[in-house]
Amino acid sequence: MSRAATMTMALFFQLITSLLLITTTASSPPLGGVTFDVIHRRSNSSSSRHFNTNELDGGSPYANTVFATSEYLMKLQIGTPPVEIEALIDTGSDLVWTQCLPCVHCFDQLGPIFDPSKSSTYKEKRCREQPCPYAIHYVDRSYSEGTYATETVTLLSTSGQPFVMNETTIGCAHNSSDVTTPSASGIVGLDWGSSSLISQMGENFLGLFSYCFSGEGTSKINFGGNAIVAGDGTVATNMFRKTDKPEFYYLNLDAISVGENRVETLGTSFHSLEGNIVIDSGTTYTYLPDTYCNLVKDAVDNAVVNVERAPFSGERLCYKTDNIEVFPVMTMHFSGGADLKMATYNMFVNNGGEYCLAIICNDPTQQAIFGNRAQNNWLVGYDTSSQLVSFKSTNCSSLWS
């Protein structure tokens, strides 16, 4: 989540049912005044790399994850003594923030709201002798407002000892509307920004992290050496950075196959050789510019036979059926030969007596997004040093059972 007072992003299409996030770049907190950002919701402070107490013990940090309707949360602890929270995993933002007492206005969350007065390691950041504020405003008019602070963040570790991150920059939210599922207390930003959790872990972890999302059961998000995705069936594609949006992880989508019909981006305005779609764990659906998206929709519609289109579905492609097996196999082709053969669950969603394509068409000026539903049951590894994203087809719900 960007905290830059001078930088904003263009607003784009808001699908209320998605409840998702995609945000702007990170920077240092301002020396005074309220930081205001317009952030795209789809359902920075500078970070010094502080020594982690077990950074050199040979262990790799990790966290347990849970699925909540359409979002994926990770469990972590903040404060001293540590308090466990669940927060949305968001590769499209940079700040780690949670709701804090006292609340001017807080959304309902299932667990207790963090009370910084009971933590011996909480330290509010100061700007000209005043608390450093932040304010995040979303397209759907939800928001989070609070103050920057440093606090101890604790994860699990393969060493068996807690992985402790001292003086981690966080946002302490005192005024928030519903920005995520009630199971969560906030957001864990994981993008390229300097205040993201992965950026604050330290250079020994080389910007490596991986996750494996499942719509059932629990899974894990790994950091460091244990996050490397390799072995039979692993494919990799290049990661790109844009000078105007350097915080996002861009991939290059070359084509989407619907059955045997390969729909190329070549020949459309969506075609690129240097990244045309953001991979975002905090957004549910996949969003494509309508100049290309409509070609994909037409290919799907031509492949679905003897099934009636659902009325009143607007721009969505929906069918009156409760049988997901009637839909074609779809493959997403990323640069470098990374071909992801999708399960029908990845590409179609049950909408109460009908199934809809889990791809949303955007205006061409808006950001294309590779959302978390399409990533379901893929072990996804980020290597920011080598600028690669790796994928391995995996039954994520049984991976750590």
Active site residues: 90, 280
Dihedral (Cα; 368, 373, 378, 382), 10-degree rounding: 40
Spatial separation of the C-alpha atoms in residues 309 and 24, rounded to whole Å: 38
Which residue is associated with the tokens 């011996």? 120
Closest CA to 91 of 206, 249, 292: 249
Q: Please, are residues 349 and 358 in contact by the beta-carbon 8 Å criterion?
A: yes
Closest CA to 392 of 339, 345, 347: 339
Helix H or strand E encompassing 238: strand 235-238
Spatial separation of the C-alpha atoms in residues 144 and 132, rounded to whole Å: 14
| Non-local CB neighbours of 42 within 8 Å, separated by 6+ positions | 14, 15, 18, 19, 20, 21, 22, 282, 283, 284, 285, 287, 369, 371
